Amino acid sequence: MKVINVVGARPNFMKVAPLHRAFSRFPEIHSIVVHTGQHSDACMSDVFLEQLKMPPPDYLLRLSAASATCQFSEIMTGFEKILQKEKPDLVLVAGDVNSTLACALAASKADIPVAHVEAGLRSGDRSMPEEINRILTDALSAHLFVTEPSAVQNLLLENVPMQKIHLVGNVMIDSLIGITGSWCPESATNISEQSRYILWTMHRPSNVDTEVMLTKMLAMITHLARRWTVLFPVHPRTMKNLCTFGLADQLCSIRNVQVLPPQGYMEFLKLMTGAMVVVTDSGGVQEETTFLQIPCITLRESTERPVTVERGSNLLLYPFDEKRIEDNIAAIQQGLWKKGSIPEYWDGRTAERIVSILKAQYLNL
Ligand code: UDP
């Protein structure tokens, strides 16, 4: 059985690494990794391959694309050639980035079944590019591997047959458990006097693509930095927009704010476990803070990962302003925050479950 695993952007590496490893344990499975080049900077790509101990990808596409549409067409054209050469039995895509949908679509045009890992998540907000990628990828997929019960319900509401849906847990947590080794949630929850910093990450278009929203974000950070230290690893998209609107210098000059480049996975997890609170709009970070039981404030109107709010340590803050965020962080400092619990199957064995379901299907094993 030959499987092509697709990676393209930062959050894909954590999801695909444990799957490629799990596939590779079986001599009857040939597991290939295709990197679409959607994120190609060393700090958004190479560092993750290295830290997650992934071999160099079997194929790396080179993209010149300026717009999302060009990116789709370049990925699909490049990926189609790989499909023609490799003739895989299955294409596995993860998450909700453009590479996920582009490769799912190219595979489905070539009549090759698609497995979608992290299927069924829905924010209900179609203005999010990721939501469109999620809906279309699921519609094209033969195997839908889901992380939380809400995703099963979403897929059933879209008339996906139950036999295609598998609640298997969260492969991202496989990577987290693998890399942190001896770390356990309990050891990560202590908020000591020394670790009273806010870890800030922000890159969703709705938060960083306009001058109005970036100015609002700077006002909040400036306000919070009067009371607490803020660590801010800045996503390239956010930095590009800060520069475009002439706001980068303003951010760098705020006292008590450390502006950092995008962090390696290990470095970021360490920053996360030492934080008093993580303020984010990232999907993966909402899940990782839930697993680590670290307070998380998500600056978004909706989340496609409701289990992180219902069971985990996440709070959606919307609308948000200086006062609301300060009040919430003050509550966290006083210990008035839910620790939450870890969702079912987020146990480090999700890749194993996925591979065993696919083996049964394709190899009758
Ligand atoms: N992450 C990282 N370095 C950073 C910020 C995030 O390694 O500076 C990791 C984070 O721990 C998580 C993943 O990147 O595993 C989330 O990626 P991102 O926020 O880019 O995408 P999303 O999850 O929102 O799709």
What are the pLDDT digits (tens) for 175-197? 999 998 755 544 444 445 456 89
Q: What is the pLDDT of residue 196?
A: 85
Which H helix or E strand runs over 33? strand 30-35
- Distance, in Å, from the CA atom of 266 to the CA atom of 264, rounded to the nearest integer, reads 6
For residue 204, give the ligand 1 atom closest to its CA. Answer: 24
* 276-286: pLDDT as tens digits: 999 999 999 99
Average pLDDT over the chain reads 95
Residue closest by Cα to atom 14 of ligand 1: 11
Catalytic, out of 30, 203, 223, 235 = 203
* Helical spans, DSSP H, in the chain: 10-24, 46-51, 68-86, 98-109, 129-140, 149-157, 171-180, 185-189, 205-208, 211-224, 236-244, 248-252, 265-274, 283-292, 307-310, 322-333, 350-363
Q: What is the pLDDT of residue 172?
A: 98
Given the cut 0.90, state whether the ipTM is greater than it: yes
Specify the pTM. 0.96
Taking alpha carbons only, the member of 296, 268, 267 closest to residue 280 is 296
Taking alpha carbons only, the member of 34, 38, 23, 47 closest to residue 80 is 34
As a residue count, the chain comes to: 365
* 195-245: pLDDT as tens digits: 689 999 999 999 999 999 999 999 999 999 999 999 999 999 999 999 999
Q: Ligand 1: which of 268, 270, 272, 298 to mutate, most ligand atoms within 8 Å of CB?
A: 268
Question: Hey, what are 309's tokens?
Answer: 């709010």
Inter-residue contact 112 to 83 (CB < 8 Å):
yes
Inter-residue contact 146 to 155 (CB < 8 Å):
yes
Residue closest by Cα to atom 13 of ligand 1: 11
Q: What is the pLDDT of residue 285?
A: 98
What mean pLDDT is predicted for residues 62-79? 92
Question: Hey, what are 230's tokens?
Answer: 């803020």
Distance 69 CA to ligand 1 centre (A): 23
For residue 286, give the ligand 1 atom closest to its CA. Answer: 23
What mean pLDDT is predicted for residues 129-134? 97
Question: Hey, what are 117's tokens?
Answer: 């890992």
